[in-house]
Amino acid sequence: MITDRQKMILMTVVNEYIKTAQPVGSQAVCSTRDFNVSPATLRNELALLEDNGYLSHPHTSSGRVPTDKGYRFFVDAITEERKKGIKKVKNIAGRLNHLKEEEDTLFAELAMTVASLSRNMVLSGPLGARMLFRAGINEILSQPELEDFSLRRHFGHIIDSFEENLGELSESVGADAPRVFIGRENPISAARDFSMIVSRCRLFSDEGVVVIIGPKRMNYQKNLELLNSLIDML
Percent of the chain at pLDDT exceeding 70: 88
In DSSP terms, which residues pair with 210 in a beta bridge? Answer: 124, 199
CA 114 to chain centre: 10
Determine the Cα–Cα distance for residues 136 and 89; give it in Å rounded to an integer: 17
Tens digits of residue pLDDT in 19-30: 888 899 888 888
DSSP 55-98: EE--TT-SSBEE-HHHHHHHHHHHHHHHHHHHHHHHHHHHHHHH
CA 133 to chain centre: 20
Q: What is the pLDDT of residue 48?
A: 93
| pLDDT tens-place string over residues 133-169 | 999 988 888 888 888 888 899 899 899 989 888 877 7
Domains and CATH numbers, the chain: 4-73 (1.10.10.10), 99-233 (3.30.450.40)
Please compute the mean of the pLDDT values over residues 184-212 and round it to a whole number.
Answer: 85
Q: Using an 8 Å Cβ cutoff, are 74 and 14 in contact? A: yes
Average confidence (pLDDT) over 85-110 = 68
Instruction: Report pLDDT for 56.
Output: 92
Query: Rounded to an integer, what distance in angstroms lies between the CA atom of residue 123 and that of residue 95?
Result: 18
**232, 199 contact by CB (below 8 A):** no
In the predicted structure, residue 17 carries a pLDDT above the cut 60: yes
Amino acid identity of residue 166, one-letter, is L
Choice between 184 and 172, residue whose per-residue pLDDT is larger: 184
What pLDDT shows up at residue 103?
A: 60
| pLDDT at residue 94 greater than cutoff 70 | no
Q: Are 114 and 226 in contact (CB under 8 A)?
A: yes
Residue 3 three-state SS: coil
Which residue in 92, 128, 98 sits closest to 200, CA to CA?
A: 128
Can you give the length of the chain in residues?
234
Q: Do residues 227 and 123 lie in contact, with contact meaning Cβ atoms separated by under 8 Å?
A: no
35 vs 159, higher pLDDT: 159
Quote the CA–CA distance of 57 and 50 in Å, as a whole number. 8
Predicted confidence band of residue 92 (pLDDT cuts 50, 70, 90): low
Pick 81 or 110 by higher pLDDT. 110
Those residues whose C-beta lies under 8 Å from the C-beta of residue 226, and which sit 6 or more positions away, are 85, 89, 114, 117, 118
Please write the tens of the pLDDT for every residue from 57-84.
887 667 899 998 998 898 888 777 777 7
Examine the pLDDT at 99 and tell me if it is beyond 60: no
Look at residue 154 and give its three-state secondary structure: helix
Q: pLDDT at residue 41 above 70?
A: yes
Bridge partners (DSSP) listed for residue 150: none
Give me the chain's average pLDDT, please. Answer: 83
What amino acid occupies position 67? T
Average pLDDT (216-227) is 84
